[in-house]
Structure 1
């Protein structure tokens, strides 16, 4: 395993960390062989580019003139190209990946902070034997003659698909897919101990010595809806219901209030009648007492 930006040296036809070189070792830490990698992304776009005209740069110096004068500096150049671009989710990369940069005369293994993939549609005339592409490591330590942009160690992967296969994937993105999954193979230096122990993930170091070793085989490409969308709730949570907002409820409450009022009035009437009855009984009782006294006297 490579920790940080490790210094690498050539060793027995492969690569080994500078501090791990052993003369009695039978294998380098990283042997040259075919690597297999999978990756995915939900940050993907399908682009259609249409060319209309081309500016002739070998014409006379620009002079003021009308449309007829200026159109002579252009020629029709109708072209149509389609491609798919994706910024790979680094957490989805199946194995650890490093690229070689040269710093102060030493080879250093640097983990790219980002991977960008571009899939291009090719015509039948350009169709390769199998679908393939190439790498480009935007080395921040590379000295450039025209340093318009400083390198940022991004790893770019350019891939090709024939028109039939490309159209099927492209149309899926046009129909709403926004998730891409890729499988690629490429020559790289792979950890010898990991391959012997069957440990996953394996560490790969990309170091093409020439253009013939800079190639990528596209083994699989698929599109789908983003996993986050698949698991999203289909129906929103229902809003809280205001029990006082419905007209029927208002009617029921009104009736209930009227019933309570009616019961109160009835109780009040009964209480008044009861008081009157008590008064009558009291008067009758007093009259009976007086009558009894008068009889005995």
Structure 2
């Protein structure tokens, strides 16, 4: 499979006015092949959304970044225009994404014009399961699900090869969640590389939508592999605990809370929540065998 999105050794640090530093992402390696969906999961506050921001080259001006991200053969940090035509973002909160004083139609048409797209507003509306008449409403007149579908229509206007969906089903009911995830699946079938950022593991299990699963904790990748294998046989203790907290898996909450990302140590900190951890509590490394990768303590030579 061809890699549509490739993230190599991405590290992002964001200095704050008080002198502290947010460890937003730490040494992230992630590939999203074309025609597939990779789900990036983890608890809120672990750094998932900064990955979306980085892919779209929308980091704060003060952010310090190392590593690279490519969309197809385009380096997203090179200054080459890529948003819209090559990569598009489905935002976390569509209601705030849309301008409140203009109709949805005018905003979608503006996107079409800016991209030089051959799509029509009505055609895109139908594609995302929205009645074209809904586009004549202002954002506050749309339900959450309708606003989300308008945002997806804007993302699809340029036929992007990479789609980054940042919590696209947040605050939606199960029916609308299933519909939105189904649309993303159709985009993958049509050849797009889809990065789905979510904390809703239950929906991933219910819909079986993801081809690959990447698990993130405290700015680091903990585990990557085929979604079915990761969900059935997780290799990292955090993935095991995350799945064990689901109602369908016993509702066993993880002790403690995810750490703040400000001034994190250089090593994985999951041992702070699981003191008996055999995979955290010192320098760690990602170990790969076959299609599976997981983080564990470095071997002492």
What TM bracket, shorter-length normalisation?
Answer: under 0.3
TM-score of the pair, normalised by structure 1: 0.19
Pair member with larger Rg: 1
TM-score of the pair, normalised by structure 2: 0.19
Identify the structure with the greater strand proportion. Answer: 1
